[in-house]
Chain A
Amino acid sequence: MSLLGLVWANLFRKRTRTVLTLLSVMIAFLLFALLQAVSVAFDGGVEVDGTNRLVVGGKYSQIDQLPYSQKQQILSLDGVDKITHTSWFGGEYQDPKNFFAKFPVDPESYFEVYSELDLEPAGALERFARERTAAVVDISLAQEYGWEVGDVIPIQGTIYPKNDGTRLWEFELVGTFSENGEGSDFPLFLFHFEYFNEATLFGADQVGNWTLTIDDVERADEIANQIDALFENSSDPTRTTTEDEANRQFARQLGDMGFITTMIMSAVFFTIILLTGNTMSQALRERIPELAVLKTLGFTDSTVLFLVLGEALILCVLGGALGAGLAMFMGPGMSAALEGVFGSFEVTPDIFVIALGLSAAVGLLIGLLPALTAQRLAIVDAFRRG
């Protein structure tokens, strides 16, 4: 037997109570790890390469459409290099669960602005620009749905019906795009804006956002202010931000996941700390004479403190490791189910390490008061109370 063995034996003195407490800690950290992965997935979706890109959207809401006529006015501003646009099309592919974003775009300007994207096969951009019903997709989408160049992909227009009264939009896949050979966490389906503009029942000559490149990153604020000032008194005022911020705002439309995660976990940990802390205190009260015996045998006050603290630490760290470990085990399955919603959902080793650190902190917090009580215990008083 060792001191650790003594801690372990004491921890399981009431097996049922300890197992139930362990389960509650484990579930708390399972929740933590999964929610943390969700939060990271949301944040991960807004990491972009283009630091020289600005996004112009409606001032009051991201669903406000902007007139196509703004394009030339923005382009005429000093410092603006290239401009393209995107619009939220909605739409469903076969099943509402098959979620991915579909944007009508101007092919040439889009791939000029997003120059980090590589289109394949050769000549795909020319075909995309030339053929009105052409579409290109992120390589990860093509892989997920087994699409190949030449396939006709039917999309039901959930927001935009066609002006012939039907809702079926059909596109021919002419290429796939990727960045350094890898698909995006937020994969896109891009089709020709002119096709959309001509065929839609409403919403023609409007775009959702302008995305533009600027010559000088240092002038980003200045140019953004100029654009917003330009349309301030028009019927379509704008709000211009960096692309990074725009994407973050987009993610926030679904809720501030960081805040939601923090609130849920605060409630969970508050409950866990109260419950486990109460359990530890109760376990300590039951063992006052035994702690006095240990001190009688020569265990110092500090050793007794560490023995009691060790129990809380082991309980919480074990629960944390089991919970976060289970989350990692569940991660791949959940990732497959949630990929379309969250982009990349993964319980990473970083989350596991954070969970371990947090569980140790919770263990210290829970164990500190009982441990200090045990440390201060006077032998004679303890025997008298026992």
Chain B
Amino acid sequence: MTAAVVCRGLEKTYVKGREQVPVLTGINLEIEQGDFLALMGPSGSGKTTLLNLIGGLDHPTGGEIEVEGQSLGGMSNKALARWRSENVGFIFQFYNLLPVLNAQRNVELPLLLTKLSRKQRQANAETALEIVGLADRARHKPGELSGGQQQRVAIARALVADPRLMVCDEPTGDLDRDTADEILELLQMLNADHGKTIIMVTHDPRAADHAKRTLHMDKGKLVTAGALA
């Protein structure tokens, strides 16, 4: 089976004034298709930075990164944007829905970049909302939804373009335990039933328990098995 994500010697260094701050140092990692991986570690360990690089939101300073067989290293911002729209679904801690749009239109957003007709876009958005169990709230704006419902809309938005990879940054960090469990079960369902590869950053060991495997990071390095030899 082709690996969904391969990182070799991945490095990321931020420059603050004259100071160079290494955030990731020599990350070697392989994630299989259909995996559900939890990334854990203390604040500042580089989890989100690694997630951003895998999701094509940032450029690495060194090393190589391949996602779905495509090297992201040399891609321009424009090419990377297009690649993201077709290959990755993003889920954030604070949902990041557009408050001026209702649930259906928020879900429809990624499809505006496709050649689908308006009817097709609406139909796909409705299907995605059905999958997350929110078809009856399609016309509600984010401000009219609970945190858990907003996160479900965000998940529907992440999967509406049918990407194979979903990256989640603390997806339950802003939710109570019961709601968090519902969201995690939803992610498990997307992984098991829809074959999505999911990478989830979390501080919460109970959230990580829902993943198939967990990797720990500290000071910009992977510290547990799972990394490439």
Contact = CB atoms under 8 A, between A and B. Distances in A.
Given A1-B105, A1-B112, A379-B58, A301 B77 contact: yes
Interface string A1-37: 1110110011011000000000000000000000000
25 contacts: A1-B101, A1-B112, A5-B105, A6-B101, A10-B100, A12-B100, A289-B96, A290-B98, A293-B96, A294-B109, A296-B55, A297-B85, A297-B109, A297-B110, A298-B82, A298-B83, A298-B84, A298-B85, A300-B77, A300-B81, A301-B77, A301-B81, A303-B113, A379-B57, A380-B52
A2 B112 contact: yes
B78 interface: yes
Given A12-B100, A294-B109, A378-B58, 11 more contacts: A1-B112, A9-B101, A290-B98, A296-B57, A297-B84, A297-B85, A297-B90, A299-B85, A300-B81, A379-B52, A380-B57
Q: On chain B, which size bracket covers the interface? A: 20 to 34
B100 A299 contact: no
A298 B57 contact: no
A301 B113 contact: no
A298 B110 CA distance: 7
Contacts of A295: 81
Contacts of B52: 379-380
Given A296-B90, A298-B84, A300-B81, A3 B100 contact: no
Contacts, number: 67
A10 B90 CA distance: 22
Interface string B7-31: 0000000000000000000000000
**Interface SS majority for chain A:** helix
Interface in A282-298: 289-290, 293-298
Interface residues of A, number: 25
Interface in B95-110: 96, 98-101, 105, 108-110
B86 interface: yes
Interface in B149-167: 157
Contacts of A378: 58
B177 interface: no
Interface string A362-382: 000000000000000011100
A13 B77 CA distance: 28
Given A10-B100, A12-B100, A296 B84 contact: yes
B113 A1 contact: no
Interface in B116-133: 118, 121
Interface string B39-76: 00000000000001001011000000000000000000
Interchain residue pairs A-B with the least CB separation, the first 7: A298-B85, A9-B100, A293-B96, A300-B81, A13-B100, A298-B84, A379-B57
